[in-house]
Amino acid sequence: MAKSDKPLGTSPDHYSVRVGGLTAATEVQQRLLQAQTRRHFLGTCATGLGAMFFATMLGGRASAGSAAASTGGEPRLNFARDPARPLAPLPPQFTPKARRIIYLHMTGGPSQLELFEHKPVLTRFDGRDCPASFLAGKRFAFLTGTPKLLASQYPFHQAGKDGNWISDRLPYLEQHIDDVCWIRSMHTDQFNHAPAQLLILSGNARLGYASVGSWVTYGLGTENQNLPGFIVLLSGGTIPDAGKGLWGAGFLPSVYQGVQCRPRGAPILYLDNPPTVSRALRRRMLDVIDEIDRQTHAEFGNPETVTRIAQYEMAFRMQLAASDAMDIHREPAAVLARYGAKPGESSFANNCLVARRLAERGVRFIQLYHAGWDSHGQAASFALNPGLGFADRCRDVDQPTAALIEDLKRSGMLEDTLLVWGGEFGRTSMRENRGGQLMKWVGRDHNPSAFTVWIAGGGVKAGMSYGETDDMGYEVVRDRVEVRDLHATMLYLLGFDYHKLNYPYQGLEQKLTGVNPARVVAEILA
């Protein structure tokens, strides 16, 4: 693209890659181009061309509330923005319960049977062959033959006012057992990490779909124009199996994708000035670039050029704002201790503290990933045995998660922040027997049929336990919640009907929940 001999902004390549905020007129044009499939064109050949002409003529008058879909679909909400402010806040469809989301993703699939699911019957049958019915029609990543049932490796006890069961691995979170809502009946249809992660974080098991965070930022924008609306923080050593597409914008304009911030050094790569460039010099450079961009815009009228100017300006403001938000040195020692955070480290604890600081600064969607939950038992660091890898992961997240809940609660922010904690799937009730062998360490394979996710905060019933699995914790037997139902519920809490938060692409009104019917889990709404 840089080598193109055409002026910047007119290359079709450039145009299609980044479609930032558009003026109403070009938005209509853009939608028409995307929504106009061959079928539409043939179907409405006679009137279609006229309609395109009129849409262009009338496009500038699109009203603030909603715009009729130009290809004859349902009326849809209008998300058009001033191209110079593509992240400008827009009101939700209806009064929201939550204003922002902090999503703590436990990459790899934490075992619900070692944390939340107390199953005495499974303990009783520990070491016995699993019933044949557990295997019929199932696909596994590693289980072969007839695997043995495996009891929980950690003791359980009851806690909180409703006597919910929890294992001894999460003593800090246990203090907040009555602040969160346990969804014990989550169900996904993907049994491998990358597709399952994509499904729960972008609504589709394939690459190229818009992540939850980018949908939310597209729908609501962000209040703080000096920071991205969607920030991603990683810990645990590895990036998720599905890669950075997990926080991609897919078909949405790329300005809505997540921005990954690093724990050490400059939080955002290439944002700081090089040693020889002062902030004043950077300002003068930007002024010159802006001037050239403005001339380009005057000549070609491409709204992408305006978006580009806006992005440069935002990056300039972010030089100060991002460093300030990420800088946990200034937190009181007592707070650092409560989170178990150590400035300069790369840890889930630091990220939780940063998450709180970002939430306070009006960031709309804060996504944390903590890797290392894939407890197959293939190595000590991935073993469920007492004291090995799984116990370390629990220690990594337990104290900081609880501290985050407590901070949000103390400051009143839990009233309008939605917290989500969970992996991409659960783990089997059977012990892993990779290659048909008894393995040195204890582990479990992936189980898409049942896992636990907890959510807390704005609009959610606190201390509720929803859904139920069978006596072995293997299948959901009551109140199944599909991944798309969880998404529909999250969007509802933010003030959207999941049908209405859509984007025309490839002839379809794309939605986070996909094409299958979804359900807002009304039972867990406060």
Partner 1 sequence: MTAASVKVPAYRFRLSLAAYLVCVVVTTALLTGVMMLFRPALAYSVRELLGLEPHPRATPGSFYTVRVAPVLEEHCTACHGKNRQKAKLRLDSYPAILRGGRDGPVIEAGNLHDSELFSRITLPASDDRVMPPSSKPPMPADDATIIRLWIAAGASGVLPVSQIKNAPPPVAKVKFVEVDEAAVERARAGQSELVRRLQKRYPGIINYESRMSANLEVDASLLGASFGDADLRQLAPLSDHIVWADFSGTALSDASIEVILTMKNLRALRLNNLHLRNSTILPLSSLKGLRSLTVVGTPIAAESISTLRTEGVRVYDGNNG
Pick the binder of partner 1 from 110, 250, 495, 504 (CB under 8 A): 495
> Tokens 């937190």 identify what position?
331
Nearest to partner 1 of 373, 503 (CB atom): 503
Instruction: Report yes or no: 329 and 380 within 8 Å, Cβ to Cβ.
Output: no
**Contact between 311 and partner 1 per CB under 8 A:** no
Pick the binder of partner 1 from 72, 73, 91, 344 (CB under 8 A): 91
**Contact between 97 and partner 1 per CB under 8 A:** no
Nearest to partner 1 of 89, 171 (CB atom): 89
Instruction: Report yes or no: 24 and 60 within 8 Å, Cβ to Cβ.
Output: yes
Task: Give strand ranges (E) for 189-316.
Answer: 230-235, 259-261
Q: Write out the DSSP string of 89-133.
A: ----SS--S-SEEEEEEETT---GGGTT---HHHHHTTTSBPPGG
* Stretch of 61-69, 132-140, 248-256, 429-437 lying at the interface with partner 1 (CB under 8 A): 61-69
Residue 281 burial (10 A CB sphere; 0-12, 13-18, 19+): exposed
* Stretch of 88-96, 162-170, 197-205, 249-257 lying at the interface with partner 1 (CB under 8 A): 88-96
Q: Residue 188 carries which side chain, given as an amino acid letter?
A: T
**Contact between 509 and partner 1 per CB under 8 A:** no
Over the window 139 to 178, marking each residue x when it contacts partner 1 by CB under 8 A and - when it does not, the resulting string is ----------------------------------------
Smallest distance from partner 1 to CB 478, Å: 10
Pick the binder of partner 1 from 12, 38, 42, 63 (CB under 8 A): 63
Smallest distance from partner 1 to CB 166, Å: 19
Q: Residue 335 carries which side chain, given as an amino acid letter?
A: V
Smallest distance from partner 1 to CB 118, Å: 24
**Contact between 95 and partner 1 per CB under 8 A:** yes
Smallest distance from partner 1 to CB 278, Å: 24
Structure tokens belonging to residue 192: 């491998």
**Contact between 317 and partner 1 per CB under 8 A:** no
> Tokens 């980018």 identify what position?
214
* Stretch of 90-98, 103-111, 282-290, 501-509 lying at the interface with partner 1 (CB under 8 A): 90-98
Touching partner 1, residues 395-414 (CB under 8 A): 406, 409-412
3-state secondary structure of 437: coil
* Stretch of 116-124, 349-357, 423-431, 514-522 lying at the interface with partner 1 (CB under 8 A): 514-522
**Contact between 77 and partner 1 per CB under 8 A:** yes
* Listed residue (310, 224, 319, 323) closest to 279, CA to CA: 319
Touching partner 1, residues 195-234 (CB under 8 A): 223-225
3-state secondary structure of 35: helix
273: Cβ contacts below 8 Å, ≥ 6 apart: 279, 281, 282, 319
> Tokens 């597709």 identify what position?
195
**Contact between 525 and partner 1 per CB under 8 A:** yes
**Contact between 276 and partner 1 per CB under 8 A:** no
Task: Give strand ranges (E) for 305-386.
Answer: 365-370
Nearest to partner 1 of 6, 317 (CB atom): 317
Smallest distance from partner 1 to CB 76, Å: 11
The shares of helix, strand and coil residues in the chain, as percent rounded to the nearest 5, are: 35, 15, 45
**Contact between 332 and partner 1 per CB under 8 A:** no
Q: Crossing angle of helices 348-360/389-410, nearest 10°?
A: 20
Give the integer Cα–Cα distance in Å for 211 and 248.
Answer: 6
Ramachandran angles phi, psi of 151, nearest 5°: -70, 160
Residues that bind partner 1 (CB under 8 A): 63, 65-66, 77, 85, 88-96, 223-225, 361-362, 406, 409-412, 415-416, 492, 495, 497, 499-500, 517, 519-520, 522-523, 525
